[in-house]
């Protein structure tokens, strides 16, 4: 195993701002970002063997079996051996975390910890006008009159996916699936939780924490040539 290279995982429920935080990390630090979802979509698009299998699970809203997922990620990680890296979307289960541990030692797990209510509010904020497809967000671009389309005055609706009961189900599923993984890393002493209600509150401590582990992007070349 390479010594001194960052081996990190980022975890956070849907709506936690994980995508935004990951983008900011990549902008500031020289490291490779490996997202299991992106890797699967890439395989599906290229119709690889794994891609074809993955599609059948994803279409049914199910997780890919651990052995397939682990093999895919570990073989991709081999190509990143010389770099600092951050995993996103993997591991999702304890067997995946255990398999990852056999290949390398995870030094840091960044856990984005937002109140359940905040996330629910964010995820249920989207309303649409079905006839035109106009999209409103109660937080960022609310309609002028609550519940009605600005142009036609017709009622707005929520997609099934965005309805509170569906959102709560998705969040609960994340919790049951992921809590054991968080507990696993907490026991190992590598879990770093960052709490807050807004991405702009959470980002500065994440940034400060990573500065203690990594050179800033201005030193990108030095970092990747190690
Ligand atoms: P994501 O973009 O991370 O939400 O991933 C999209 C879908 O890919 C998920 O809903 C799962 O079906 C599958 N997937 C992604 N990562 C994993 C993983 N670590 N284990 C099992 N399935 C996964």
Q: 159 an active-site residue?
A: yes
Give the model's pLDDT for residue 222.
44
Give the model's pLDDT for residue 225.
43
Which entry of 24, 170, 188, 213 is annotated as an active-site residue? 170
Give distance in angstroms: CA of 69 to centre of ligand 1.
9
Q: Which residues contact 59 (CB under 8 A, 6 or more apart)?
A: none
Local confidence pLDDT in tens for the 226 residues of the chain: 445 899 999 999 988 989 899 999 999 999 999 999 999 999 999 999 999 999 999 888 888 999 999 999 999 999 999 999 999 999 999 999 999 999 999 999 999 999 989 999 989 999 999 999 999 999 889 999 999 999 999 999 998 888 999 889 888 888 888 899 999 999 999 999 999 999 999 999 999 999 999 877 754 444 444 4
Give distance in angstroms: CA of 145 to centre of ligand 1.
38
- Among residues 62, 110, 134, the alpha carbon closest in space to that of 214 is found at 110
User: If you count DSSP H runs as helices and E runs as strands, how many of each does the chain have, helices first?
Assistant: 9, 7
Rounded CA separation 57/61 (Å) = 6
Give distance in angstroms: CA of 206 to centre of ligand 1.
24
Cβ-contact 127, 91 below 8 angstroms: no
Cβ neighbours of 3 (radius 10 Å): 4
Residue 90 CA: nearest ligand 1 atom is: 19
Residue nearest to atom 13 of ligand 1 (CA): 63
CATH (one of 2.40.110.10, 3.40.50.300, 3.40.50.1700, 3.40.50.620) for 7-225: 3.40.50.300
Give the model's pLDDT for residue 218.
56
Ligand 1 in contact with 15 (CB < 6 A)? Answer: no
Rounded CA separation 225/210 (Å) = 19
DSSP-based three-state secondary structure for 99:
helix
Q: Give the pair of three-digit tokens for residue 151.
A: 């142009």
Give the model's pLDDT for residue 68.
96
Q: Give the pair of three-digit tokens for residue 11.
A: 């975890």
Give the model's pLDDT for residue 14.
86
Domain edges within the chain: 7-225
Q: 226 an active-site residue?
A: no
Ligand 1 in contact with 58 (CB < 6 A)? Answer: yes
Ligand 1 in contact with 89 (CB < 6 A)? Answer: yes
Q: 146 forms bridges with which residues in the sheet? A: none
Give the model's pLDDT for residue 216.
76
Q: Which residues contact 160 (CB under 8 A, 6 or more apart)?
A: 166
């Amino acid at each position: 195993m390479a010594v001194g290279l960052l081996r990190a995982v980022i975890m956070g429920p849907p709506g936690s701002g994980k995508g935004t935080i990951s983008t900011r990390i990549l902008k500031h630090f020289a490291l490779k970002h490996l997202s299991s979802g992106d890797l699967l979509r890439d395989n599906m698009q290229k119709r690889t063997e794994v891609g074809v299998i993955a599609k059948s699970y994803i279409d049914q809203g199910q997780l890919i079996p651990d052995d397939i997922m682990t093999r895919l990620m570990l073989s991709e990680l081999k190509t990143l051996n010389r770099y600092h890296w951050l995993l996103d979307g993997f591991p999702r289960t304890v067997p995946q975390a255990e398999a990852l541990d056999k290949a390398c030692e995870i030094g840091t797990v960044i856990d984005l910890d937002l109140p359940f209510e905040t996330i629910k509010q964010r995820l249920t904020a989207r309303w649409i006008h079905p006839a035109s497809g106009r999209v409103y967000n109660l937080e960022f671009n609310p309609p002028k009159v609550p519940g009605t389309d600005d142009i036609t005055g017709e009622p707005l609706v929520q997609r099934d996916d965005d309805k509170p009961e569906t959102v709560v189900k998705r969040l609960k599923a994340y919790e049951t699936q992921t809590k054991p993984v968080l507990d696993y890393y907490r026991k190992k002493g590598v879990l770093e939780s960052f709490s807050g209600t807004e991405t702009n509150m959470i980002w500065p401590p994440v940034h400060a924490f990573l500065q203690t582990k990594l050179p800033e992007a201005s030193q990108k070349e030095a970092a990747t040539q190690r």
